[in-house]
């Protein structure tokens, strides 16, 4: 598959391999260097060297070989199934599990668990030909949406191509009801808010998403404050926010809240090490939970909605914050 890009105005001259590695989400710098060496990359129609500097106006084309299909095996990983019928499955995803196979995570993913679940279900029922939707490809069978490794909560999985198409359309038209709980550092101003900020792959850090991008995509997040913790003069404040994403971009909630100066507790990528601890408690993952998911069943037309409480680590942190708030309140009361 051939791809094209033109170096935009204002771009500083930089090495071709560096430029492409910051403008492609799925290729590392080493992979790009291999493509250049194979002659699969051209600049203004000519074969370049990896060290060639590109400048505004340069036209770059590169061929990305089609990946060989992976043989993905089912693995007996427990699933918290909330609902299941012949065309879809709703589950409560735990933290710490990657949704689909990718470099560095070829096994132990949610897809591995789903394949094993389907194989076991088919064997138990004697059903023939039942499998997850093929639209997502071998690596992402049945996946209509995804949650980050550190994010917990409700997900819906398509078991047929028709269900995949019906659910995907709802996500595309933003008719899905999605509610997240986000625990952020600092005291969020006001009771409600809205972030309308286009985001995309960061031009300098290819694993990050930001507004500093050459391929911005519209992204809108609405939120309301649920609880506040701590006091300003103590230097320790946090806010529990109920988030309603109107679009579904990668890392959208994390990036949008960080853009307000309120990164998620535990989100080192967008908040640094300072947000990864509270008192003596180490926070090892972003405190983000997909609490509610509501959608129309693609076959029956019935509206379905599922809500799950936050996982144990987030509940423990909330209890700590509430206990600290209560201690402050008691300390202030006159004797």
Average pLDDT over residues 107-125: 83
Catalytic residue, from 73, 148, 279, 280: name it: 148
Same domain, 181 and 326: yes
Are 168 and 205 found together in one domain? no
Same domain, 210 and 319: yes
Show the tokens assigned to 274: 């300072």
- 31 forms beta bridges with none
Angle (CA) 290 296 302, round 5°: 125
CATH number where 114 lies: 3.30.2350.10
Rounded to whole angstroms, the Cα distance separating 279 from 229 reads 13
In a domain, 217, yes or no: yes
Give the highest mean pLDDT range of 50-54, 142-146, 187-191, 206-210: 187-191
Evaluate if residue 214 carries a pLDDT over 50.
yes
266 within domain boundaries: yes
316 vs 52: CA distance, rounded Å? 53
| Domain assignment of residue 300, yes or no | no
Instruction: Report the C-alpha gap between 43 and 63 in whole angstroms.
Output: 12
pTM, two decimals, is 0.76
Domain boundary among 151, 173, 195: 173
pLDDT band at 308 (very low <50, low <70, confident <90, very high): very high
Q: What percent of the chain has pLDDT over 90?
A: 54
pLDDT of residue 188 exceeding 80: yes
| Judgement on whether residues 191 and 289 belong to the same structural domain of the protein | yes
Mean pLDDT, residues 156-178 taken together = 92
Q: What does the mean pLDDT of the chain come to?
A: 86
Comparing 6-10, 192-196, 197-201, 208-212, which segment has the lowest mean pLDDT? 6-10
Q: Are residues 230 and 320 in the same domain?
A: yes
Q: Average pLDDT in the 296-316 region?
A: 97
The CATH number given to whatever domain includes residue 46 is: 3.10.290.10
Residues 50, 21 share a domain:
yes
| pLDDT score of 334 more than 50 | no
Q: Are residues 17 and 74 in the same domain?
A: no
Using pLDDT thresholds of 50, 70 and 90, give the confidence band for residue 138: low
Per-residue pLDDT at 68? 52
Tell me, yes or no, whether 83 and 152 share the same domain: yes
Give the pLDDT mean for 214-233.
87
Give the model's confidence band at 8: pLDDT under 50 very low, under 70 low, under 90 confident, else very high. confident
* Residue 183 and residue 118 share a domain: no
Residue 12 in this model has a pLDDT that exceeds 90: no
In order, the DSSP letters of 109-164 are SHHHHHHHHHHHHHHHHT-SS----STT-SSSTTBSS---TT-EEEEEEESSHHHH
Residue 335, pLDDT score: 39
Is residue 137 over pLDDT 80?
Answer: no
Using alpha carbons only, give the angle 277, 281, 284 rounded to the nearest 5 degrees: 60
Using 50, 70 and 90 to split pLDDT, how confident is the model at 131? low
Phi/psi for 41 (5° steps) reads -125, 135
Q: Is residue 302 part of a domain?
A: no
pLDDT at 203: 85
Residues 283 and 188 in one domain: yes
303 within a domain of the structure (yes/no): no
Instruction: Kindly state the average pLDDT of the residues 121-134.
Output: 59
Tell whether 55 and 81 lie within a shared domain.
Answer: no
**Bridge-based pairing state of the strands 209-210 and 200-201:** antiparallel
Name the domain boundary from 20, 35, 63: 63
**Residue 280 among the catalytic residues:** no
Residues 196, 120 within the same domain = no
Residue 220: strand, helix, or coil: strand
Q: Is the dihedral of CA 273, 275, 276, 280 positive or negative?
A: positive
**Residue 301 domain flag:** no
Task: Tell me the CB-side half-sphere exposure of residue 289, using CA atoms within 13 A.
Answer: 21
State which residues form the domain around 44: 2-63
Asked if 292 and 179 count as a contact pair (C-beta separation under 8 A), the reply is yes
pLDDT for the residue numbered 231: 58
Domain boundary residue, one of 173, 204, 225: 173
Q: What is the pLDDT of residue 22?
A: 76
Q: Is the pLDDT of residue 105 over 80?
A: no
Question: In total, how many domains does the chain have?
Answer: 3
- Mean pLDDT across 292-307: 97
């Amino acid at each position: 598959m051939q791809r094209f890009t033109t170096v935009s105005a204002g771009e500083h001259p930089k090495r071709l391999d560096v430029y492409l590695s910051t403008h492609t989400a799925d290729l590392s710098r080493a992979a790009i260097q291999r493509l250049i060496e194979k002659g699969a990359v051209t600049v203004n129609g000519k074969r370049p060297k990896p060290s060639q500097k590109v400048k505004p106006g340069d036209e770059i084309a590169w061929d990305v070989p089609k990946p060989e299909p992976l043989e993905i095996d089912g693995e007996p990983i427990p699933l918290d199934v909330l609902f299941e019928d012949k065309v879809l499955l709703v589950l409560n995803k735990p933290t710490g599990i990657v949704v689909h196979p990718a470099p560095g995570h070829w096994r132990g993913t949610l897809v591995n668990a789903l394949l094993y679940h389907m194989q076991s279900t088919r064997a138990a029922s004697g059903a023939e030909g039942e499998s997850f939707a093929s639209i997502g490809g071998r690596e992402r069978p049945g996946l209509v949406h995804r949650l980050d490794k550190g994010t917990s909560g409700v997900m819906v999985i398509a078991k047929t191509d028709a269900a995949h198409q019906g659910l995907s359309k709802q996500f595309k038209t933003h008719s899905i009801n999605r509610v997240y709980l986000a625990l952020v550092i600092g005291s969020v101003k006001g009771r409600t808010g809205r972030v309308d900020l286009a985001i995309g792959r960061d031009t300098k850090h290819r694993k990050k998403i930001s507004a500093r991008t050459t391929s911005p995509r519209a992204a809108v997040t609405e939120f309301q404050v649920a609880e506040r913790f701590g006091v300003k003069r103590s230097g320790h404040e946090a806010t529990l926010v109920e988030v309603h994403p109107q679009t579904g971009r990668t890392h959208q909630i994390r990036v949008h809240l960080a853009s307000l100066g309120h990164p998620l507790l535990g989100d080192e990528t967008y908040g640094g090490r300072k947000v990864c601890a509270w008192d003596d408690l180490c926070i090892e993952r972003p405190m983000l939970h997909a609490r509610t998911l509501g959608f129309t069943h693609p076959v029956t037309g019935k509206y379905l909605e599922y809500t799950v409480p936050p996982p144990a680590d987030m509940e423990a942190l909330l209890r700590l914050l509430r206990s600290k708030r209560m201690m402050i309140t008691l300390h202030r009361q006159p004797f």
